[in-house]
Structure 1
Amino acid sequence: MQLIDGKKTSQAVKLEIAEEVKQMISAGMKQPHLAAVLVGNDGGSETYVAAKIKSCEEVGFASSLIRFGNDVTEEELLSAVKKLNEDADVDGFIVQLPLPKHISEEKVTEAIDPKKDVDGFHPQNLGRMITGADAFVSATPQGIMELLKRYNIETKGKHAVIIGRSNIVGRPMSILLSLKGHPGDATVTVCHSRTANLKEICLQADILVAALGIPEFLKADMVKEGAVVIDVGTTRVPSTETKSGWRLKGDVDFLNVSPKCSFITPVPGGVGPMTIVSLLLNTLKAARQK
């Protein structure tokens, strides 16, 4: 069993980005700029946005944070999106989800300029990704693809099973793995909460991606010997062993599943760090395209 170290890989990618930013600036180009819009004070969102801003500093990006309270109106938020669309200095920006219930996430996402949609959530980017055209790919699937590539994990002709069908992870992951190229050329099955014979399908998988948000859902008796297991889950569960009183758990029963795997991602330290790096790669790409 080999551990897929997302933390180590993300550091390597950050060094590559930082080097390219230095070259861009020395060539007289402007510093790449990532902006984030944060609504309310959700603990997970606060932590995630803070990590993004810190990562921007590490690679030499400019960053800015626009904050709103939970009582912000949809019109005010759409106005802020419009300003960021029109701001020539901002190469890419994200509106951190989830948003309060009185605001339409769909409307806000669709208001973002696709050329600045570094989260890869805009329907135009999703559509271009499906056809294999150049697009901003959503951060988590792109991070997983980068890990598969850097660990030289063979995907051609393999059977990949995705557990989860979200528009952010499951669906784009299934498309990316089935597209021509490396990583790619896999035969993909998408499973979900209504799938019959889930265990039997998982046991056929050469590559298993668990992205359903249920801690330790994937058990050892669902995984065949030598499978590659990618754990996308990050659920906070109570813990007496940490100062915070909680710890992150993945969707995979790591202790019992890992001995059966050829490769597996841990939680934390697997897919998570690559998600932020993917956002940086998309921002760098947006800056290059200018």
Structure 2
Amino acid sequence: MTAQVLDGEVVAARIKDDLARRIAVLRDQGVTPGLGTILVGDDGPSANYVAMKHRDCEAIGMESFHRHLPADSTQHEVEAAVDAFNENPEVDAYLMQYPFPAGLDFEAALLRMDPAKDVDGLHPVNLGKLVMGTVGPRPCTPVGIVELLRAYDIDLKGAHVVVVGRGLTIGRPLANLLTLKEPGLNAAVTVVHTGVDDIGSYTREADVLVAAAGSPGLVTADMVRPGAVVVAAGVSFQGRKLLSDVADDVAEVASWLSPRMGGVGPMTRAMLLSNCVEAAERRAVGRG
């Protein structure tokens, strides 16, 4: 068996085409969606990721706003940038690129953010809304994973999904999202992590396995039930090389597998754009 590819580039392109049409409608109403980014320091992967987001904005007709602060910035300077985006009516949603340089408090800056402008869906108010199943910006990578599976007609209703990883950006919110009683969700979810003995005893029971621990090669073929769907969501860097949580041999046993490049990453960026467009649509309603 060789796994079929969960192609995030193809699905993300369709999502961005739809967003471009929605943006054209907004622009006719005098509203251009605006995405803001705050980058502190000169971390290479972070800078590249932010640059990709701004290229995405340009490609579909959005405005983008960027603040690049030096690594030796004070907490006050970082929070002043947050305040400026909170107050700027042209910025519908924005993000602070993680990680911050040592000595700066990312959590304090996040709490200062206007939850309605939280494009990543990671503000505690928005995570609380996710747990409650109410409307609000939802975390981009978890929603992107769900949309990727939906695009390939992989039914999550009643499926056993095992999530490897308990991080704030993927593991925890994904587990909450998958259990919501909503169309395309309503799954049974098990969460394990690197502190659990014999992770494979759990992962081999999964209909859908999401690797999101940020531990290179953690999930190997012997940990996957033949025919399972595997989503490689966790990545880490070794120098400039991007490493996946999922070993190459998993492709020989899985039915579907997202690739290391062009899988979950494009979906995360597409859902970030979607959150920003939804915020702009709320602004347009308010103007009416």
The residue matched to 2:173 in structure 1 has which SS?
helix
Give the CA deviation at 1:118: 0.6
Counterpart AA for 2:264: V
Written as runs of structure 1 = structure 2, the 5 A alignment for 1:195-274 is 195-237=196-238, 246-254=240-248, 256-274=249-267
Distance 1:99 1:237, change over 3 A: closer
Counterpart AA for 1:60: G
8 Å contact 1:92–1:117 — kept in the other structure?
Answer: yes
1:120 corresponding residue in structure 2: 121
Give the CA deviation at 1:233: 2.4
Written as runs of structure 1 = structure 2, the 5 A alignment for 1:12-91 is 12-26=14-28, 28-91=29-92
8 Å contact 1:214–1:251 — kept in the other structure?
Answer: yes
Deviation by residue 1:5-26 (Cα, 9 ceiling, x = unmatched): 0011111111111111112212
8 Å contact 2:206–2:228 — kept in the other structure?
Answer: yes
Superposition CA RMSD, Å: 1.1
Separation in 2, partners of 1:5, 1:156: 22
Written as runs of structure 1 = structure 2, the 5 A alignment for 1:72-221 is 72-221=73-222
Separation in 2, partners of 1:232, 1:182: 22
Give the CA deviation at 1:268: 0.6
Give the CA deviation at 1:183: 2.6
1:241 corresponding residue in structure 2: none
8 Å contact 2:65–2:91 — kept in the other structure?
Answer: no
Separation in 2, partners of 1:181, 1:201: 25
Separation in 2, partners of 1:163, 1:89: 38
The residue matched to 1:185 in structure 2 has which SS?
coil
Deviation by residue 1:151-193 (Cα, 9 ceiling, x = unmatched): 1111111111000001110000101111112331111111012
The residue matched to 1:11 in structure 2 has which SS?
helix
8 Å contact 1:249–1:268 — kept in the other structure?
Answer: no
Give the CA deviation at 1:129: 0.5
Separation in 2, partners of 1:2, 1:203: 19
The residue matched to 2:111 in structure 1 has which SS?
helix
**Which runs of 5 or more residues in structure 2 are unaligned?**
284-288
Q: How many residues align?
A: 281
8 Å contact 2:57–2:64 — kept in the other structure?
Answer: yes
Q: Which stretch shows the higher mean deviation, 144-153 or 56-65?
A: 144-153
TM-score (norm 1): 0.94
Give the CA deviation at 1:249: 2.1
Give the CA deviation at 1:197: 2.9
Separation in 1, partners of 2:214, 2:78: 28
TM-score (norm 2): 0.95
8 Å contact 1:45–1:96 — kept in the other structure?
Answer: yes
**Selected match of 1:277 from 255, 262, 270:** 270
The residue matched to 2:268 in structure 1 has which SS?
helix
8 Å contact 1:92–1:286 — kept in the other structure?
Answer: yes
Give the CA deviation at 1:236: 2.7
Q: 4+ residue stretches of structure 1 with deviation over 3 A?
A: none
The residue matched to 1:83 in structure 2 has which SS?
helix
Give the CA deviation at 1:217: 1.1
Separation in 2, partners of 1:250, 1:219: 11
Counterpart AA for 2:236: T
2:7 corresponding residue in structure 1: 5
The residue matched to 1:8 in structure 2 has which SS?
helix
The residue matched to 1:65 in structure 2 has which SS?
strand
**Which runs of 5 or more residues in structure 1 are unaligned?**
239-245
Separation in 1, partners of 2:188, 2:227: 17
Greater relative CO (CA pairs within 8 A, separation 6+): 2
Separation in 2, partners of 1:148, 1:176: 14
Give the CA deviation at 1:220: 0.5
